[in-house]
Chain A
Amino acid sequence: MSASGLTLRQVRFTNKAFWRNPASAFFTFAFPLMFLVIFTALLGNGEVPIRGMDLKQSTYYVVAMATFGVISACYTNIAISVCFNRDAGILKRIRGTPLPGRSYLSARVIHSMIVGALLVIITLAFGWAFYDGTWPTGLALIQFVTTFLVGSLSFAALALALTAAIPNADAAPPIVNASILPLLFISGIFIPITDETPDWLRIIGDLFPVKHFAEAMRDAYLSDVTLTRGGVTIHPFDFQWSDVLVIAAWGILGLILAARFFSWEPRR
Chain B
Amino acid sequence: MTAIKRIFIANRGEIAVRIIRTCRALGIETVLGVSEADRESLGARLATRTVCLGPSPAAESYLKVPTIVHAAVGFGCDAVHPGYGFLSENRALAEACVENGLIFIGPDPENLEAVGDKLTARGHAEAAGVPLVPGASGATVADSDELAAKIGFPMLIKAVAGGGGRGMKRVDRREDLAAQIDLAISEAAAAFGDGRIYVERYVTIGRHVEVQIISDGETVLHAGERDCSVQRRYQKVVEEAPAPRLPHKLRSGLLDAAVRFARHIRYRSLGTVEFLVDVEREEFYFLEMNARIQVEHPVTEATTGLDLVELQIAIAEGRPLRIGQQDIRTSGHAIECRLNAEDPENNFMPSPGRITQAWFPSLPGLRVDTHMQPGAMIPPFYDSMVAKLIAWGETREEAIEVMRRALKVCQLDGVKTNARLHEAIMNDAEFQRGGVDTAYLAGLLSTVAEGEKGG
Real binding pair: no
Residues in B lying within 8 Å of A, measured CB to CB: none
Residues in A lying within 8 Å of B, measured CB to CB: none
